[in-house]
Structure formats: C-alpha cells, structure tokens
Structure 1
Amino acid sequence: MKIAFALLGAVQLTLIAAITVITVALPAMRRDLHLDDAGTVLVTSAYGVAFGGLLLPGGRLADSFGRRRIFVVGAAVFGLGSAAAGLAPDAGSMVVARFVQGAGAALTAPAAMALAGALFPDPRRRGRAMAVWGVLSSAGATAGTVLSGVVITWVSWRWALLAPVVVAAVAVAVAPGLFPADRPARGNRIDWPGAVLATTGLAALIYGLQRSGRVALGGVLLIVLFALAERRAAVPLTPLPFVARRLLPLAAVTLCAAAMATAFFMLSLHLQQVRGLSPLRTSAVFLLSTPSLLAAGPLTGRLIARLGERRVLAAGPAVAATGLGLLSLLDAPYAGLLVFPLGAGMTFSAALLTALHGVGDDRTGLAGGLVNTAMEIGPPLGLAVLIPVAAAHSPDASSGYAFALRVAAAALVAIAVCAALPRRTR
C-alpha cells in the first residue's frame, strides 16, 4: 500500500512540476529553439491549456472506463509527450509535444487521485492520505522551479524536460501489478457534446487569461453554454448540483493557486532582476519552503481529525494570507517562504477533503478533475489580475509587487471568513 501511494504521489508531483520546470530555463529555450514572442507564448501555454482544458473529460473517463486503465494510458501519453519535448528540434515540435504532455497529464491526474483514495478503505486513514495528497501540487510547483534552476546551471535544459519520462515509464510498468483492475460503476456513457464545450471553454479561458481578454471572454461564454447544456443532458459530464455543493473548496483552491503562482513569479523576478541572484541561488531560496510543505500534509490530517474540515479550511487561507504579507517584504522574504507554503498546503489539503466528502466511488474521478481544474485556473487568473494591479499601483516593480501580494492576501482572508461562517449564512 505504501509503495502504491508513493508511486501515485510521485506521478502527481511530476505532473505539476512539468508546469513550472521551464520557468527558469525559458531564456535558454528561446535561444536554442529560435523562439520569437509568439512562439514563447505558445510554448509556455501549451501544457497548461491541454492539462486544464481536458481535466473534466479525463475525470469522467476514469469513472467510466476504469481508473487503472486511464491512469496507465495517461501516464504513457504523458511520458511520450515529455520525451518529444526534451528532443524537440524546433518551436513547432515543442508546442505539439507540450500539448500532448498536457493531455496525458489530464488523463492521469484524476485517475491517480481516485486510485489513491481507494487504497485506504478506512475513512480516517483515507483522510490523512488525502491531506498529504493535497500538498503535492504546491510541492510539485516548487520542485519544478528548483529543478530547472539546478539543471541549466550544469547541463542542457532538455534534461529537465526528459526527467519526467523516467517517472512515467515506471508508472506504466508497475501500475498493473500494484492496482487491481476496477470495473466501471456507471457504464460507458460520456456526454461528448458537454466534453467538447468544457474542454474548449476551459482551454480558451486558461489561454485567454494569460494572453488575450477576448479569448478569455469567449471561454467564459463557452462555459456558460456548457452549464446550460448540462442541465438538459441525460447523463451530464459534470452535474451542476455536484459542483454547487463544492464551490467554496474549489474557490479556495483557485485563489490559493493564483496567489502561489503569482507570489513565486514576482519573487523570482525580484531576486534575479533587483537583487542580482543567479538562477541557481534563486532556486536555493525557494528550497526554504520545503520543510513547511513536508509538514503541511500530516499536520492538516491531524487537525481535520480533531477540528473538522470546515475549520481547517478557514485556518489554511488565514495562515497563507499571513505568509503573503511576510512575502511582500521582498528584500527579506524568508519568513514568508516558511509561513505561506504551510498555509497553502493546509488550504489545498482541507479543500480536497471537503470536495471529496460524501463522493461515491463512481464519481471520485470527476471530483478529482474538478479540484485539478480549479488548480489549473488559478495561476493564469492570478497573473492576469495581479500583474496589472502591481503595474497600476506603482511604476517601481518592487513596490507594485508588494502591493499585489497584499491584495492577494486580502482575497484569501475573504475565503477564510466565508469558510468560518455557519453553512446557512454562507
């Protein structure tokens, strides 16, 4: 059981690390692949667009065709995309490879979460395991940033993109022996029109938030059409009451992911452009968050067992907001790098357990898809909102960054207050 959970955790961490692994390496990639501005946009967006856009269909496919089967297929596709990205000779090949890589991740992530929950029939042990699982996303984002800085210091950036191939190959090889074949619980019917609307809408929203307001608006309209279509579908891809009961934890995941991505982006720029740190030393600074990330999962599991999910869901964003306030002291961010990841880990873990509460085996993939979708929407949303806020506040980048981080902290405080209110008041 421990080996199986460790494998699933390593895969989930790798899927998230693949998002941030090109962050520090991007200047070298631009030079080697002869990327112009448009090519850079496509390379940096392709993985996230495919990952976020295909998560809901990926979750439903796991429920409908078997979690182990979809996990193995997704890991194989992710591994092939990773290999193609590491060996890509030009910009076009890189964009296609990153898109394939993201599609594989969208199949793998919901299935992996469902398999992880099924390993622990006892509710108490399952709760502790899922609390640890909730921290893996923030740990993966940090690991990707650190790995890219370390790799490009000594070898080619291509090795950072090839590293996930090893994890994917191990997962494909050993998963059939670790996990029993599961029978689909609800038949094989998929709402394909809804899947197309959800995929295109989410993909347009995620891409548009990064690059184009018009594309983002088109994505919102497609998501509205998706919601209207789901009300009439015989077997909806995502039942709206199922989503409505989980709006608060999904909002908490989105806002915390937005805050984390934006805070780390701003801090990375400040450390390199203002403080003059090298990529390797910048990566070393982010390693300060490791103890907090390692402690957040077990701590959250114990707190939830004593206090309940709702109270921890209120405490997590409050701690994260405190950490953002400390991070806004950009010249001395060290206390913030300890406090903020702890609060973010608590938030992700408590939100995940709240979203999975009362979910039957036939919908664990769907719930996993929703949580991962909220996670994917967060970073482009945070960058799209907070970067202009920083620029509007002050022409001095450091002053603007500090103000934007305090705005993000205020949003997390609002989530904490909502979670602390009685259910009827909420």
Structure 2
Amino acid sequence: MQVTLIATITVITVALPAIRRDLRLDDAAMVLVMSSYGLAFGGLLLLGGRLADVWGRRRVFVMGTAMFGLASAAAGLAPWTGLLLLARFAQGIGAALTAPAALALVGTVFPEPRHRTRAMAVWGVLSSAGATAGTVLSGVVITWVPWRWVFAVPVAVSAVAVGAAWSLFPADRAPAERRIDWPGAILVTAGLGAMIYGLERSGRSVLAGVVLLALFALAERRSPAPLMPLPFLRGRLLPVLAVTLCAASMATAFFMLSLHLQQVRGLSPLRTSAVFLLPAPALLASGPVAGRLVASLGARRTLALGLATAAAGLVLLSLLDVPYAGLIVFPFGAGTTFSAALLAAMHDVRDDQTGLAGGLVNTAMEIGPPIGLTVLVSVATAHSPDPASGYAYALRVAAVALLTTAVYAALPRRAE
C-alpha cells in the first residue's frame, strides 16, 4: 500500500499535458492539481499517526485506505476541474491516515524483534520505489490509454488492502481515552501545508509556514497532551534529517535527469520511463542489506554508510550523458539510508507512539522533494545558463550535503 500512496504523487506527472487539454486547465489549476495531493498528505501525516495511536491502527488504516480508494475513483471519473481537485485533496487525506497506521501495524504483524527489523528495513525502501513506480506507470499509461486510467491502480490496490486488513491485522483495542491536541494539529497541518506549497510556488507561503510551525512548537511546550512531544522529536533529528536530504536529492536528481533525457537526448516519455526502471533492483536489494547491516553495525553507522554511498551515486549521476552507474549506486545508497533511518526513528518507541513515529518519518519523506527542487534548481540556474552544466553542479552540491551528514552520523556516540 505504501508504494501506491507514494506513486500517486508522481503518477500524473507525465499525464499532466493530457489532463490540461482534456479539462482545459489554466496554469494555476494545473499547479493545484499537481500539488493538492501532496499538500494534504504531507500536512496531515502527524495527525494521522496520532489518530492511529489513539483510535486504533487497523481502524484508521481501513478508514484511510477506503477514503483513498474512493477518492482515486472520483479523480479518474472527474468531469471538471473542481471535482478533480477535491478528489486529489481527499486522496491526500486518506493517504495521511493510511501511511502511519500501516507502518505501526508492521510491529503488530512481526512481534519478534529480528523479523520486525527486517520488515522495517524493507519498508524503508518502499517510498522511493513508489516514486519510481509512479513515474514509470504514468509514462506507460499515457502512451496507450487515456490519462484517467492512471487512477485505476490506486483503486484496485485500495480495494484489495481494505478486504485483506480484516484478516491480516489483529483487532484494535477499545479506542484510548487520551485527548487529541487539536490546536497543535491545526497549527502543524497548516504550517506544513504552507511550507510544502510555498517551497514550490511562494516565498510568502514559506514564511507563513515557518511562523505557524514556530507557534506549533510553542503550543506543544504548554500542551498537557502534545501532538509531538519535543523530546521525542529531538531524539530523532538525525534520521529525520537523513530522510529529508535523501528524499530531496532523489526527487531533484530524477527530475533533472528526466528533463535532460527528453529535452537534450530526445528520448520519448516511454523510453524515459524505461530508464527509470534501472533503480528498481538496487532499491529492492537495499532493504534486506540494510536490515543485516543494522543488526551488525547499528542503525547510526548503517545510516552513515548509506548516506556516503548515495553521495557517490549523485556524483555518478552528475555525468548526465552516462548516468547508468549512478542510477544503480544512488538508489542503493538512498534505500539503505531510508531503511536505517526508519529503524533509528522507531528504536525504543513506546507502543502508543508508533503511529506518531511513522507520521514523523513520512512527513520528512514528503517535505524533502519540494525542498530539494526549490534549492537545487535555484543552485543549478545560478551556476550556469546551460541546463546540463547547472544540473551537474547542483547534483554535486547535493552529494556534499549527504556526505557531510554521513560524517556527522559516523562520529562516535553512545552505544546504540
């Protein structure tokens, strides 16, 4: 399910021109269609994680998945722009409920620590696999059938997941009586939503997001039942930073490479999508490898190794005309990083905070891409008017950021 949730972010990327022609979208409407899902998804993840802890994981998973599936069907059938926008927002809300609940359920399904570590390690690569799958699926679908069919896979996967949840997952306990910090939820949702939107479109929105998140931090210090206890966040800053940087680098690298392959090399959308099948084996292999490395080296050292490998992969990707080695090395390092970061973030988490931890990691995954696109595209443009030269420079800048974080993660700390 996690692969589908992330794929839905990118699945309309190649289809956007066809959607624009069919629904007669102007520029503003096209931006909203593209960003509305991510805004709702990223902004509501922390609340979704907390609701899973309080209301019950299976209950919230089924609720969110059903909403996601119904909204996907509505998006595919939408006859006008307004309904498509509402459907994309509803998809994001459903995804924000589903993702942290699903991650919390991993610990329930795999109670034995060794098996849970392996399952979590594999889970860590699912988001990056989903982003790649969405790009590939979009290119394939738009080549042969109308754009509305890109929403058929989310509908089908949601139906299967809802049906299987009742037999695969144990029943929830009675809903906890703990209060939900609704003022904090409103502030962090508005702040993250403004930040994600603003990083792509508006500096003022970024500023508003920063102010709202600062107010959220102040409110959490005074709340008797905080949505995100600050000590909980402080203990997980390194894995959150690592996920954010790797997600930012991956989204930007694939964006730049896609443009280069189509605009400079002259590849068709279908052939470009085929190129992005190369990372799949490396991503799938990185999860099990990360699980074994964490068992022997610890999460922090594995995190450092993954970041350093991803940095080397970005340097290889900066050779845009021959990016194929980078399309293997970088995804392997990024997948290792995601897996190790997830295990580090979930380490010693209380049972009633697993949904919150899942929401935190998924939030980092969501805010990374707009940060990367905003910063690194600006770096590329400032460096050179030649796109290829600018893209190569920006990818090397991202490599330096990952390597610096890897060095920090490798510094001696207390035993894990």
Task: Give the TM-score of the pair, scaled to structure 1.
Answer: 0.96
What is the Cα deviation at residue 103 of structure 1? 0.4
SS at match of 1:358: coil
Match of 1:99 among 82, 86, 89: 89
Please give the residue correspondences for 1:261-280 in structure 2 after superposition, counting only pairs within 5 Å: 261-280=251-270
Match of 1:355 among 345, 363, 367: 345
Alpha-carbon distance in 2 for matches of 1:365, 1:168: 20
Alpha-carbon distance in 2 for matches of 1:76, 1:317: 36
CA deviation string 1:226-246 (max 9, x = no partner): 000000000000100000000
Match of 1:121 among 111, 128, 133: 111
Please give the residue correspondences for 1:70-219 in structure 2 after superposition, counting only pairs within 5 Å: 70-183=60-173, 186-219=176-209
What is the Cα deviation at residue 395 of structure 1? 0.4
Alpha-carbon distance in 2 for matches of 1:232, 1:43: 37
Which residue number corresponds to residue 8 of structure 1? none
| 1:16 partnered with 2:26 | no
Which residue number corresponds to residue 401 of structure 2? 411
Deviating runs (4+, > 4 A) in structure 1? none
What is the Cα deviation at residue 184 of structure 1? 5.7
Which residue number corresponds to residue 4 of structure 1? none
User: Residues 253 and 383 of structure 1: is their aligned pair in 2 closer, same or farther, counting only changes over 3 Å?
Assistant: same
Alpha-carbon distance in 1 for matches of 2:96, 2:175: 21
Alpha-carbon distance in 2 for matches of 1:261, 1:185: 38
Q: Are the counterparts in 1 of residues 57 and 105 from structure 2 also a CA contact under 8 Å? A: yes
Please give the residue correspondences for 1:324-403 in structure 2 after superposition, counting only pairs within 5 Å: 324-403=314-393
What is the Cα deviation at residue 168 of structure 1? 0.6
| 1:312 partnered with 2:320 | no
Alpha-carbon distance in 2 for matches of 1:314, 1:270: 30
Q: Are the counterparts in 2 of residues 207 and 215 from structure 1 also a CA contact under 8 Å? A: yes
Task: For 1:72, give the aligned amino acid.
Answer: V
SS at match of 2:278: helix
What is the Cα deviation at residue 162 of structure 1? 2.3
Alpha-carbon distance in 2 for matches of 1:75, 1:203: 21
Which residue number corresponds to residue 244 of structure 2? 254
Alpha-carbon distance in 2 for matches of 1:419, 1:98: 38
What is the Cα deviation at residue 26 of structure 1? 1.2
SS at match of 1:374: helix
Task: For 1:422, give the aligned amino acid.
Answer: P
Which residue number corresponds to residue 7 of structure 1? none
Q: Which runs of 5+ in 1 are unaligned?
A: 1-10
Alpha-carbon distance in 1 for matches of 2:130, 2:120: 16
Match of 1:57 among 47, 53, 57: 47
CA deviation string 1:107-164 (max 9, x = no partner): 0000000001211111111111100000000100000000000111110111112220
CA deviation string 1:49-99 (max 9, x = no partner): 000000000000000000000000000110011111111112221111100
Please give the residue correspondences for 1:21-60 in structure 2 after superposition, counting only pairs within 5 Å: 21-60=11-50
Which residue number corresponds to residue 291 of structure 1? 281
Which residue number corresponds to residue 235 of structure 2? 245
What is the Cα deviation at residue 31 of structure 1? 1.2
CA deviation string 1:1-44 (max 9, x = no partner): xxxxxxxxxx1110000001011111111111111110111011
SS at match of 2:125: helix
Which residue number corresponds to residue 302 of structure 1? 292
Q: Are the counterparts in 2 of residues 65 and 188 from structure 1 also a CA contact under 8 Å? A: no
Task: For 1:111, give the aligned amino acid.
Answer: A
Alpha-carbon distance in 2 for matches of 1:188, 1:47: 29
SS at match of 1:287: coil
User: Residues 231 and 254 of structure 1: is their aligned pair in 2 closer, same or farther, counting only changes over 3 Å?
Assistant: same
What is the Cα deviation at residue 186 of structure 1? 4.9
Q: Are the counterparts in 2 of residues 185 and 361 from structure 1 also a CA contact under 8 Å? A: no
Alpha-carbon distance in 2 for matches of 1:81, 1:219: 27
Q: Are the counterparts in 1 of residues 44 and 189 from structure 2 also a CA contact under 8 Å? A: yes
Alpha-carbon distance in 1 for matches of 2:396, 2:305: 18
Q: Are the counterparts in 2 of residues 85 and 162 from structure 1 also a CA contact under 8 Å? A: no
User: Residues 184 and 372 of structure 1: is their aligned pair in 2 closer, same or farther, counting only changes over 3 Å?
Assistant: farther
Which residue number corresponds to residue 411 of structure 2? 421
Please give the residue correspondences for 1:221-236 in structure 2 after superposition, counting only pairs within 5 Å: 221-236=211-226
Task: For 1:69, give the aligned amino acid.
Answer: R
Q: Are the counterparts in 1 of residues 55 and 176 from structure 2 also a CA contact under 8 Å? A: no
SS at match of 2:349: coil
SS at match of 2:396: helix
Which residue number corresponds to residue 6 of structure 1? none
Alpha-carbon distance in 2 for matches of 1:87, 1:408: 40
What is the Cα deviation at residue 187 of structure 1? 2.6
What is the Cα deviation at residue 174 of structure 1? 1.9
Which stretch shows the higher mean deviation, 354-363 or 176-185?
176-185
User: Residues 22 and 92 of structure 1: is their aligned pair in 2 closer, same or farther, counting only changes over 3 Å?
Assistant: same
Q: Which runs of 5+ in 2 are unaligned?
A: none
Which stretch shows the higher mean deviation, 59-68 or 172-181?
172-181
Q: Are the counterparts in 2 of residues 208 and 214 from structure 1 also a CA contact under 8 Å? A: yes
Match of 2:210 among 215, 220, 224: 220
Alpha-carbon distance in 1 for matches of 2:24, 2:256: 26
